[in-house]
Amino acid sequence: KSKWDRKRMDELEQWVAYHRLQASEGKCASYIPALRRADPTHLGICIIEPSGHKITAGEWDVPFTLQSISKVVSFIAACCHHGISYVLDRVDVEPTGDAFNSIIRLEMHKPGKPFNPMINAGAITVSSLLPGDTPKQKLDYLYAIFQKITSSAPVVNEEVFVSEWMTSHRNRALSHYLKDTGYLDCEVEEALEVYLKQCSIEVNTEQIALIGLILALDGYHPLRGEQIFPKQVVRLAKALMLTCGMYDASGKFAAYVGLPAKSGVSGGIMTLVPPILKRESPFPDGCGIGIFGPAIDSCGNSVAGVSLLKQIAHEWDVS
């Protein structure tokens, strides 16, 4: 039974109202029109417990694109299909401390193996590994996994995809480098299409909270009553979220919030609280948390989202 009461929901509303003001320290991503148009004052949150009980505040149902949060789902998908060791032969599990789209370490780390699947080089490699001979087949595999989680077919925001595609020079450069070093399992343009379409899937905070919830429960989908991913794969994904999920701010986030999380450049943050044996915890059975706040900092993380999560972790004593 949920331990949520009116008092706690009012508290959450107040925090959202307060942290929304912090957003002025960030800016919406501006490299494509759809992201530039987002309202920087938006801040929304959805928390889902294993019972399906949902707590929301602020602009929780405003749609946004998954962007880098998709990297967690594609990594899980590739591991489910190939097994963990096949995937880890092609992408490492080390944090970099560099920007998400950094090129520099690819050549430093001979023979060019990407450092982790949460940065672009690793994520593009993972997208190329999805099963199928064409981008469509690879995407269908990913969409089916997404649908298993959310019970609805994912919708790609075509406008976002097209502008990502036309402006993706750095990702194209990364992909060519990966192709040269042998880490790409398909053609450059095919890997890019898969990667950029998965980034352009439209969601709201409820859907990413649901993904978080399933990760909190080590791959068990409580609403379906079914283990949908192997426990080991999900634990690995969470370790990567904790160490690399917030880009080059992952260390600080682990220190001050202490929850596995993945952010995206559109301002989404997917995070979770694992089940904890503390009677006074508001979510002893664990929960998934989805946040949307499009004004981001220089690392690419939602400013208001991170500051709201700091308060939640502190006040509700989760870490």
Catalytic residues: 68, 71, 195, 247, 265
Question: What length does the chain have?
Answer: 319
CB of 19 to ligand GLN, least distance (A): 21
Q: Contact at 8 Å (CB) between 171 and 120? A: yes
Beta carbons of 211 and 217 less than 8 angstroms apart: no
Output 95-100 pairs: Cβ under 8 A, ≥24 positions apart: 95/243, 95/244, 95/250, 95/251, 96/244, 96/248, 97/248, 97/251, 98/248, 99/247, 99/248, 99/299, 99/300, 100/68, 100/247, 100/248, 100/265, 100/300
The annotation status of 195 as a binding-site residue, yes or no, is yes
The three-state secondary structure class of 25 is helix
DSSP conformation class of 302: B
Q: For residue 120, say whether it is annotated as part of any ligand binding site.
A: yes
300 binds ligand GLN, rule: CB under 6 A? yes
Contact with ligand GLN (CB under 6 A) among 75, 100, 141, 220: 100
Confirm whether residue 187 is marked as ligand binding.
no
Contact status: 188 vs ligand GLN (CB under 6 A): no
Site membership for ligand GLN, residue 67 (CB under 6 A): yes
Q: How far is the CB of 265 from ligand GLN (least distance, A)?
A: 3
User: Is 157 known to sit in a ligand binding site?
Assistant: no
- Tell whether omega for the bond before 111 is within 30 degrees of 0, i.e. cis: yes
By CB under 6 A, what part of segment 118-137 binds ligand GLN? 120
C-alpha closest to that of 269 among 22, 17, 12, 60: 60
Smallest separation (angstroms) from ligand GLN to the CB of 220: 27
Interatomic CA distance for residues 262 and 168, integer angstroms? 21
Q: With respect to ligand GLN, which residue has the nearer C-beta, 67 or 207?
A: 67
If the CB atoms of residues 68 and 204 are measured against ligand GLN, the closer one turns out to be 68
Known binding residue 156? Answer is no
As given in the structure block, the two tokens for residue 262 are 């993945």
Q: Site for ligand GLN (CB under 6 A): how many residues?
A: 11
Q: Should residue 164 be labelled a site residue for ligand GLN when binding is judged by CB under 6 A? A: yes
Dihedral angle of Cα 253, 255, 258, 264, to the nearest 10 degrees? 10
- Annotated ligand binding at 51? The verdict is no
The nearest distance, CB 308 to ligand GLN, in angstroms, is 19
Least distance (Å) from ligand GLN to the CB of residue 255?
21
**Residue 265 sits in the site that holds ligand GLN (CB under 6 A):** yes
Q: Does 234 bind ligand GLN (CB under 6 A)?
A: no
Pick the closer one to ligand GLN by CB: 222 or 294.
294
Contact 274, 216 (CB under 8 A): yes
Least distance CB 68 / ligand GLN (angstroms) = 3
Could you give the CA distance from residue 224 to residue 151 in angstroms, rounded to a whole number? 9
Q: Does 264 interact with ligand GLN (rule: CB under 6 A)? A: yes
CA of residue 175 relative to chain centroid, distance: 21
Asked if 199 is part of the footprint of ligand GLN (rule: CB under 6 A), the reply reads: yes
Binding ligand GLN by CB under 6 A: which of 26, 38, 59, 68?
68
Binding site for ligand GLN (CB under 6 A): 67-68, 100-101, 120, 164, 171, 199, 264-265, 300
Which residue ranges make up the annotated binding site for substrate? 68, 120, 164, 171, 195, 247, 265
